[in-house]
Amino acid sequence: MRNQLEHLARLQEIDDQLSALERSKGDYPERIEQLQGELSEKLGKQASVDQSRVDLEKDKRRLERLLKDRNAHLEKEQVRLAEVKTNKEWDAIQKEIDAAKSEIREVEDELLGVIEQVEQLSNTADTETEELRNWQTQAVAEIADLKEKLSKVAGRMSSIRSERDALTLRIDDRLKRVYNRIKQGKQGTAVVPVVRSACGGCYTRIPPQMLTEIRRAERPITCENCGRLIIWFGEEGAR
């Protein structure tokens, strides 16, 4: 039975290590998710701005072509105006010229507005792109660092779990059930040492006769107060 109780003590140590490693992850996973979400959002906004620039440039080229066509049409009508021989023809062509000039003014105004938008967006976008590039570099580096830390913790936990699996095969099934039941009800701590003749879990004084039985390790003994398994570790409190 002593060996079985020693195995239980070691099992508790392993479970404590696993709990500590799990806590050591802290908010790493949440922080990684946060950074990845922010990065995705910022890149999405950047892509939207880039697309807006592309669309404005297309609109600018369209208006430039339209303006060129309207000016060519105006020149053509002005040439025709010089060749007319009747007042009726002159009035008709002059009407076309006036309409062409009006349309040209409208196109010029629209083109000017697009050019201003392109300039404003370019100035803002260039600054924001540089800021995004710097932030992205830092975010990617932080994500990589956090993932590396998590990977190390995961590797350590995997190794410890392998040891735990091997150890549990050497423990009696009944004792394992007792251990798991107590562990579940006592926030993960099922096995405690004797500390100054008291239970290492709740620090209730252990009667002398019970203390003698704990030292003998002939059977599992639980604390009369907290219900945890009490095991003698040679020197009181040493584990």
Domain boundaries, the chain: 2-168, 173-231
Report pLDDT for 239: 47
d(C-alpha 155, C-alpha 28), whole Å: 16
| H/E element, 82 | helix 28-83
pLDDT in tens, the chain (239 residues): 889 999 999 999 999 999 999 999 989 999 999 999 999 999 998 888 888 889 999 999 999 999 999 999 999 989 988 888 888 889 999 999 999 999 999 999 999 999 999 888 887 777 788 888 899 999 999 999 999 999 999 999 999 999 999 999 999 999 999 999 999 988 899 999 999 999 999 999 999 999 999 999 999 999 999 999 999 986 554 44
Complete DSSP assignment for 89-144? HHHHHHHHHHHHHHHHHHHHHHHHHHHHHHHHHHHHHHHHHHHHHHHHHHHHHHHH
Report pLDDT for 62: 95
Report pLDDT for 235: 54
Report pLDDT for 234: 67
Q: What letter does residue 199 receive in the DSSP assignment? A: E
193 phi-psi bin (left φ>0, alpha ψ -120 to 50, beta other):
beta
Q: Is the pTM here over 0.75, yes or no?
A: no
Pair 9, 116: CB distance under 8 Å: no
Q: Scanning the structure block, which residue is given the tokens 């002939």?
A: 218
**CB hemisphere CA count around 217 (13 angstroms):** 16
CATH topology of domain 2-168: Helix Hairpins (1.10.287)
